[in-house]
Amino acid sequence: FFQYCLSGHPTLPCNVLKFKSTTIMLDCGLDMTSTLNFLPLPLVQSPRLSKLPGWVLKDGSTFLDKELKECSGHVFVDSVPEFCLPETELLDLSTVDVILISNYHCMMALPYITEYTGFTGTVYATEPTVQIGRLLMEELVNSIERVPKAQSASLWKNKEVQRLLPAPLKDAVEVSMWRKCYTMPEVNAALSKIQLVGYSQKIELFGAVQVTPLSSGYALGSSNWIIQSHYEKVSYVSGSSLLTTHPQPMDQASLKNSDVLILTGLTQIPTANPDGMVGEFCSNLAMTVRNGGNVLVPCYPSGVIYDLLECLYQYIDSAGLSNVPFYFISPVANSSLEFSQIFAEWLCHNKQTKVYLPEPPFPHAELIQTNKLKHYPSIHGDFSNDFKQPCVVFTGHPSLRFGDVVHFMELWGKSSLNTVIFTEPDFSYLDALAPYQPLAMKCVYCPIDTRLNFIQVSKLLKEVQPLHVVCPEQYTQPPPTQSHRTDLMIDCQPPAMSYRRAEVLTLPYKRRYEKIEIMPDLADSLVPLEIKPGISLATVSAVLHTKDNKHVLQLPPKPPQPPASKKRKRVSDDVPECKSLKPLLSGSIPMDQFVQTLEKHGFSDVKVEDTAKGHIVLLQEAETLIQLEEDSTHIICDNDEPLRVKLRDLVLKFLQKF
């Protein structure tokens, strides 16, 4: 049992598990923090960004000035943004049998895996995960493709060159592995390989392994996975939440009795309380708008935005914001809002009950109906006609490197009346803002990350009691910026095994049993014998059939009839390979009864001699000697087969065959 760790990002994991005879990939997260090293892609020509000076090395050489630009004291790559892929060299990814997806954020690398590695297997994910994952990918592809950039920089990636660059470019990992975004045809091809599954659905893989998704409480359709055989159980926990937001609550009970629990996707902001952050979000938003400023919320098109809209729905009237327009701009804004309303079965109890009425589960339906919330595919078209300030804009991408958000940063950055509020925890907001500095606009950081924090993790582990815990190395030490906070790490016994990118772990358990089925007719033929009170045994000689990793025992066939026709060859094919078997014997032979038996069977001249360890029985006429000891019997006679067989059978009567 091995685990190949292909991603170093703890919340965007990609692990491959070798479990029994199957190879299972757990998630394929795409590390997009790499895009922070690139210049933003403006939707309309930006004089500021197009006039940036090229970067010059200390020795004055300028060969990189086309690729690298200096902006606000930082150096950025002037190219189509690229993403850091999971490791593809650690093992042959074409051998991966299945990919299990836990939530829509953890599938963004899927097209790279399914379309470029020779992968021929199946991907399993829940319906909301697939639908919303598709939206996220669509938005990503759209926001990069609609701003064609001629240049794709590669010179700076040269190891020798990279060494000379300023941080953070100098320290960027695996830059040779960075790739441009995939295309829509690739997304569609990747998604066509997905098979939809429901919570608690048992999926058989090759008869050897069963996988089951469980509700993880983090997002619509998000799941943890159980990977088990009859005797081993691995739980894969990825992006779980115990807070009551819109998704169905986390299923904890089913994680019990795991041999190994792989723990990924904990909160990225362990010190922030999501509820407090939502409150701060609302009050900052209200304050800005009241002062006549605009609010920009860089966000993903699904997820926390549903909760934020729900909070605002309850908040705007009391805060006097009823007349402020809320805009949600994304190529998938409409789809995301519509899709959120049709997954009743994947929602928390309260929302389910609303659907039974029947009412839409999310109140943003009402916000749209009353024209308080408007959605647009982009800033072009209808939006430019409807656009009124001051307003609140939700748009992507949270990295501030592409998407409509770039436009609003350029538009509103110069005024201190405006505010940008960061709610997504995936990117450092300071890094995200770097190419926009100096900025007059206010920046508020309210990261909302509902995933498990360390207190919840330790409670969870106490509850479900796994034998071993495996987690990314980041979780086994305090965060680098808060090294004194020993409470911000996983504390369990035995200590968690940690992994890092490109590492292979051997998982600590050993299989000892396997399931086998005994056919009814064979079961009927068995003769159980009670050896000890409550314990019976039966010797089994049977034909073992193994098919699709399932083992079945059948009655051995009767000795083959002499073949009647030319079918001879087939018949001999069906006869199982026989190997001579040596049954084990156990027990001891009671002297007196044995002698009586011998006499009963016609041996009249039985003579018994005692020895140090037992007895010797002499059959004088037959010139035969039988040595009887506690755990052995030795029959010595002349070459007289019938006699030997007779004696053997008499001895065996007293012994138990195994």
Partner 1 sequence: MPEIKVTPLGAGQDVGRSCILVSIAGKNVMLDCGMHMGYNDDRRFPDFSYITQNGRLTDFLDCVIISHFHLDHCGALPYFSEMVGYDGPIYMTHPTKAICPILLEDYRKITVDKKGETNFFTSQMIKDCMKKVVAVHLHQTVQVDEELEIKAYYAGHVLGAAMFQIKVGCESVVYTGDYNMTPDRHLGAAWIDKCRPDLLISESTYATTIRDSKRCRERDFLKKVHETVERGGKVLIPVFALGRAQELCILFGTFWERMNLKAPIYFSTGLTEKANHYYKLFITWTNQKIRKTFVQRNMFEFKHIKAFDRAFADNPGPMVVFATPGMLHAGQSLQIFRKWAGNEKNMVIMPGYCVQGTVGHKILSGQRKLEMEGRQILEVKMQVEYMSFSAHADAKGIMQLIRQAEPRNVLLVHGEAKKMEFLKQKIEQEFHVSCFMPANGETTTILTNPCIPVDISLGLLKRETAIGPLPDAKKPKLMHGTLLMKDNSFRLVSPEQALKELGLAEHQLRFTCRVHIQDPRKEHETVLRVYNHLKGILKDYSVQHLPDGSITVESILIQATAHSEDQGTKVLLVSWTYQ
Binders of partner 1 among residues 380 to 409 (CB under 8 A) are: none
Answer whether 453's CB lies under 8 Å from 271's CB: no
- Tell me the CA distances in angstroms from 559 to 89, 556, 564, one per residue in order: 54, 9, 14
The yes or no reply on residue 633 touching partner 1 (CB under 8 A) is yes
Token code pair at residue 241: 């939440």
Q: How far apart are CA 295 and CA 368, in angstroms?
A: 19
Site for partner 1 in 413-452 (CB under 8 A): none
- 636 Cβ neighbours under 8 A, 6+ residues apart: 624, 625, 626, 627
Per CB under 8 A, which region of 33-41, 312-320, 369-377, 533-541 contacts partner 1? 533-541
| Kind and range of the H or E run holding 161 | helix 159-162
Q: x-or-dash pattern for partner 1, window 294-323, by CB under 8 A?
A: ------------------------------
Pick from 89, 577, 592, 621: which binds partner 1 (CB under 8 A)? 577
Question: Which residues, listed in sequence order, are joined to residue 420 by a DSSP beta bridge?
Answer: 296, 443
Q: How far apart are CA 601 and CA 162, in angstroms?
A: 96
The yes or no reply on residue 578 touching partner 1 (CB under 8 A) is yes
3 state SS of 68:
strand
Pick from 147, 553, 571, 595: which binds partner 1 (CB under 8 A)? 553
Question: Count residues contacting partner 1 (CB under 8 A)?
Answer: 89
- Tell me the CA distances in angstroms from 585 to 329, 562, 582, 658, one per residue in order: 81, 34, 9, 6
Q: How far apart are CA 103 and CA 105, in angstroms?
A: 6
Per CB under 8 A, which region of 152-160, 415-423, 489-497, 579-587 contacts partner 1? 579-587
Strand intervals (E) in 233-290: 233-238, 260-264
Closest CA to 22 of 228, 254, 264, 224: 228
Pick from 18, 157, 615, 644: which binds partner 1 (CB under 8 A)? 644
The yes or no reply on residue 122 touching partner 1 (CB under 8 A) is no
Site for partner 1 in 584-623 (CB under 8 A): 584-588
The yes or no reply on residue 155 touching partner 1 (CB under 8 A) is no
Closest CA to 337 of 131, 125, 104, 130: 131
Token code pair at residue 77: 């790559």
Site for partner 1 in 214-233 (CB under 8 A): 230-231
Q: How far apart are CA 15 and CA 6, in angstroms?
A: 6
The yes or no reply on residue 344 touching partner 1 (CB under 8 A) is yes
Q: How far apart are CA 285 and CA 302, in angstroms?
A: 20
Per CB under 8 A, which region of 1-9, 44-52, 344-352, 459-467 contacts partner 1? 344-352
Answer whether 530's CB lies under 8 Å from 516's CB: no
Pick from 583, 590, 596, 653: which binds partner 1 (CB under 8 A)? 583
Site for partner 1 in 163-182 (CB under 8 A): none
Q: Tell me which amino acid residue 390 is.
A: P
Per CB under 8 A, which region of 64-72, 402-410, 479-487, 535-543 contacts partner 1? 535-543
Minimum distance from residue 310 beta carbon to partner 1 (Å):
17
Minimum distance from residue 130 beta carbon to partner 1 (Å):
11
Minimum distance from residue 432 beta carbon to partner 1 (Å):
30
Q: Of the two residues 232 and 426, which places its CB atom closer to partner 1 in the complex?
A: 232
Answer whether 371's CB lies under 8 Å from 395's CB: no
Pick from 411, 543, 571, 591: which binds partner 1 (CB under 8 A)? 543
The yes or no reply on residue 571 touching partner 1 (CB under 8 A) is no
Pick from 48, 180, 202, 607: which binds partner 1 (CB under 8 A)? 202
Q: Of the two residues 225 and 339, which places its CB atom closer to partner 1 in the complex?
A: 339
The yes or no reply on residue 145 touching partner 1 (CB under 8 A) is no
3 state SS of 333:
helix
Q: Tell me which amino acid residue 572 is.
A: S
Site for partner 1 in 501-530 (CB under 8 A): 511-520, 523, 526, 528
Q: Of the two residues 200 and 322, which places its CB atom closer to partner 1 in the complex?
A: 200
Pick from 560, 632, 649, 653: which binds partner 1 (CB under 8 A)? 632
Pick from 94, 151, 201, 271: which binds partner 1 (CB under 8 A)? 201
Token code pair at residue 161: 């060159």
CA angle 14–474–449, rounded 5-degree value = 80
The yes or no reply on residue 653 touching partner 1 (CB under 8 A) is no
Minimum distance from residue 395 beta carbon to partner 1 (Å):
19
DSSP structure class, residue 100: E
Minimum distance from residue 503 beta carbon to partner 1 (Å):
28
The yes or no reply on residue 360 touching partner 1 (CB under 8 A) is yes
Minimum distance from residue 373 beta carbon to partner 1 (Å):
16
Answer whether 127's CB lies under 8 Å from 35's CB: no
The yes or no reply on residue 355 touching partner 1 (CB under 8 A) is yes
The yes or no reply on residue 532 touching partner 1 (CB under 8 A) is yes
Pick from 48, 414, 634, 653: which binds partner 1 (CB under 8 A)? 634
Token code pair at residue 249: 């609550």
